[in-house]
Amino acid sequence: MMITMKMAVRNIARRKVRSLITILGVAIGISAVVGVSSVAKGLQHDIRVAIGGSASLIVKSKTAPDPLSSALDQSVEEKVRRVPGVQRTVAVWFNNRVVTIGNRRTPIMIAAVEGGQYDFVVGSKVQPIRGRLPRDGEAALGSLVWNQMRPRVGDPVDLSGVRLRLAGEFRTSSQLANMCMITTLNSVKPLRGNGISCVFVQTRDPRRVKREIERRVPGVEAIETSKAVHNMVNSLRTVEVAGLVLSCIAGLVGGLGVANTMLMSVLERRREIGVMKAVGATKARVMKVFLMESLLISLAGGALGCLIGTAGTYALVQVIQKFKGKPITVCVTPDVILEGFLVAAGIGVLSGLYPAWKAAKVDPVKALRHE
């Protein structure tokens, strides 16, 4: 085993330029796979964090497609709270408004959370990185909007005539949340009247309590956050798969390169194959020797592709952020890297099969004939 491995490595090393070009071909395909996957993973992460937090149900109006566009009367919260099994409720009002700070105006998504229980609504920890989280009469900006507006803590914030004090800047691991302004439900009372968007509910038994709420409170629908996350992540996965299929085509081109290199190698090493057979190698063994080589080339391409893909994706995100101001979360998780290596291994085996089969079929007598 060690010896066949040495043979493979030395054969690759012996034809440096050819091997390098082949490895690069695979690396380009794998870097596309890694890039697409890490961006898709980033989006999934954003959704997980943006929806839900520690709440297990979100109560919204039956007619609204999602919690952001839902509109309810705040009396609904009281009714929901009385449903058996409900442990905690937090009412939230979402609204898209033009916000004025100093002489800068920009439309921002506002999330007004009852009692300032931000962590309950947002999936990840809401961390103040400047000033503090807002109390009644205050507001805070997500890091991305903060960078855009460049205000100072304590600046007056004008929300269609309602004046709040800017309490600080916050950050969460969700780029979507980082684009919002947060405040308390009381702070925006003049804007919303008795209206709220939805109610976040904590319960130990979401499935039963969901049915109870929908039975007792007319005109509402309760969504299980785990399910909502699941559904959105699933629909994203379709996009991810489509992207992966596209990048696998890039991988296929790399695979053709490997197949070509291996075929040349088989042609050049016919005599060596004859020798292997003469000293007792079975066809299967000869195949293994060549498959090992194509696998090594592809895995080297995989490693390089993971590096290029990771570095390239981060670089691309930086560029996009700079020119378009649009943030993109990128998650290069271990399974993204694993995926890259698996695709590389797949390329190695698939593209090595035909050359290896050709090698196994070499007639030792012809290969060993005197020249």
- Contact residues for another protein (CB under 8 A)? 1-4, 6-7, 10-11, 14, 271-272, 274-285, 364-365, 368-371
Choose between 113 and 295: whose C-beta lies nearer to another protein.
295
User: Smallest gap, in angstroms, from Cβ of residue 257 to another protein?
Assistant: 22
Choose between 3 and 161: whose C-beta lies nearer to another protein.
3
Choose between 57 and 292: whose C-beta lies nearer to another protein.
292
As given in the structure block, the two tokens for residue 341 are 């290596």
Contacts of 305 (CB under 8 A, 6+ apart): 26, 27, 28, 29, 30, 31, 33, 34, 340, 344
User: Smallest gap, in angstroms, from Cβ of residue 282 to another protein?
Assistant: 4
Choose between 238 and 371: whose C-beta lies nearer to another protein.
371
User: Smallest gap, in angstroms, from Cβ of residue 36 to another protein?
Assistant: 38
State the Cα–Cα distance between residues 140 and 149, nearest whole angstrom: 12
Q: If we measure between CA atoms, which residue out of 213, 205, 101 comes closest to residue 146? A: 101
State the Cα–Cα distance between residues 128 and 12, nearest whole angstrom: 54
Q: If we measure between CA atoms, which residue out of 94, 121, 126 comes closest to residue 108? A: 94
State the Cα–Cα distance between residues 247 and 314, nearest whole angstrom: 18
User: Smallest gap, in angstroms, from Cβ of residue 240 to another protein?
Assistant: 42
DSSP state of 168: E
Question: CA-CA-CA-CA torsion for 313, 309, 37, 315, nearest 10 degrees?
Answer: 0
Choose between 40 and 356: whose C-beta lies nearer to another protein.
356
Choose between 218 and 280: whose C-beta lies nearer to another protein.
280
User: Smallest gap, in angstroms, from Cβ of residue 369 to another protein?
Assistant: 8
User: Smallest gap, in angstroms, from Cβ of residue 280 to another protein?
Assistant: 3
Q: HEC profile for 101-134?
A: ECCEEEEEEEEEEHHHCHHHHCCCCCEEEEECCC
User: Smallest gap, in angstroms, from Cβ of residue 5 to another protein?
Assistant: 10
In contact, 167 and 141? CB cutoff 8 Å? no
Choose between 236 and 275: whose C-beta lies nearer to another protein.
275
As given in the structure block, the two tokens for residue 233 are 């992540």
User: Smallest gap, in angstroms, from Cβ of residue 298 to another protein?
Assistant: 19
Choose between 1 and 17: whose C-beta lies nearer to another protein.
1
Question: Residue 197 CA to chain centroid, in angstroms?
Answer: 28
User: Smallest gap, in angstroms, from Cβ of residue 25 to another protein?
Assistant: 23
State the Cα–Cα distance between residues 24 and 355, nearest whole angstrom: 20
State the Cα–Cα distance between residues 249 and 243, nearest whole angstrom: 10
Choose between 2 and 17: whose C-beta lies nearer to another protein.
2
Q: If we measure between CA atoms, which residue out of 25, 45, 193 comes closest to residue 124? A: 45
